[in-house]
C-alpha cells in the first residue's frame, strides 16, 4: 500500500492537458484530432491543445503505458489512421487524479462554507 501511494505521489498531480486527454479517452477510442476537439469541449474552450503539445503528451503516455495505440479500420485519403485507447493503468491514474481533485474541492467548499474553524 505504501509503494502504491508513493508511486501515485510521483505521478500525480497530472497536468491539465494530460488529465483532459485521459478523460477524453475514458469514453472510448479516439484519433488525435478527435481528442483535440473533445478536450476543447470538456474544458469549455479553456484548454486548446496544439499538435505539438498533444502528441508530446500522447508519446509520453504511450511510453508509460497509460494509453495504447491501435489502427483505425478505415483509411482516410489513403492514410491509415491511428487511434488511442485508455489502458487499465491509465484508467486507474485518471481515477486517482479525479479523487485527488475531488478532495481538494471538498476541502475548499468546507472551509468556504465555514464548517471548519
Partner 1 sequence: MSAFTRSALGFYGRLLRLYPSVFQDQFASEMAFVFDLALADAAHRSAPAVLALLLKELADLPGALLVAHLRQRRKQGAPGPIPGSSGEARLLRWAARVVSLPVSGFLLSALLLSEDFRQAPTLPGVAAVVLCLIMLAGWRWEGPGGRMTLLGGPLFFLTILGYNLVVGRASLATILVGLVMALPFILVGWLFVSAAALEGAYAQVQALPSPEQIPGRRALIVRLALVALAGLLFLVLQFVGFFTTVGSNSVGGP
In the bound state with partner 1, the residue whose beta carbon lies nearer, of 38 and 91, is 38
**93: nearest Cα among 1, 13, 3:** 13
In the bound state with partner 1, the residue whose beta carbon lies nearer, of 81 and 91, is 81
- Residues at the interface with partner 1 (CB under 8 A): 32-33, 36, 48, 50-56, 58-60, 63, 76, 79, 81-82
| CA geometry: angle 7, 9, 15, nearest 5 deg | 115
Rounded Cα–Cα distance for residues 14 and 27 (Å) = 19
Least Å distance, CB 101 to partner 1, is: 24
Least Å distance, CB 31 to partner 1, is: 8
Amino acid at each position: 500500500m505504501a509503494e502504491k501511494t508513493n508511486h501515485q505521489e510521483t505521478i500525480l498531480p497530472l497536468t491539465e492537458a494530460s488529465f483532459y486527454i485521459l478523460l477524453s479517452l475514458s469514453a472510448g477510442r479516439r484519433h488525435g484530432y478527435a481528442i483535440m476537439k473533445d478536450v476543447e469541449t470538456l474544458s469549455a474552450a479553456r484548454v486548446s491543445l496544439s499538435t505539438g503539445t498533444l502528441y508530446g503528451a500522447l508519446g509520453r503516455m504511450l511510453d508509460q503505458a497509460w494509453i495504447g495505440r491501435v489502427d483505425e479500420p478505415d483509411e482516410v485519403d489513403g492514410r491509415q489512421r491511428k487511434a488511442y485507447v485508455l489502458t487499465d493503468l491509465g484508467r486507474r491514474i485518471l481515477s486517482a487524479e479525479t479523487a485527488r481533485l475531488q478532495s481538494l474541492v471538498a476541502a475548499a467548499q468546507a472551509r468556504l462554507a465555514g464548517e471548519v474553524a
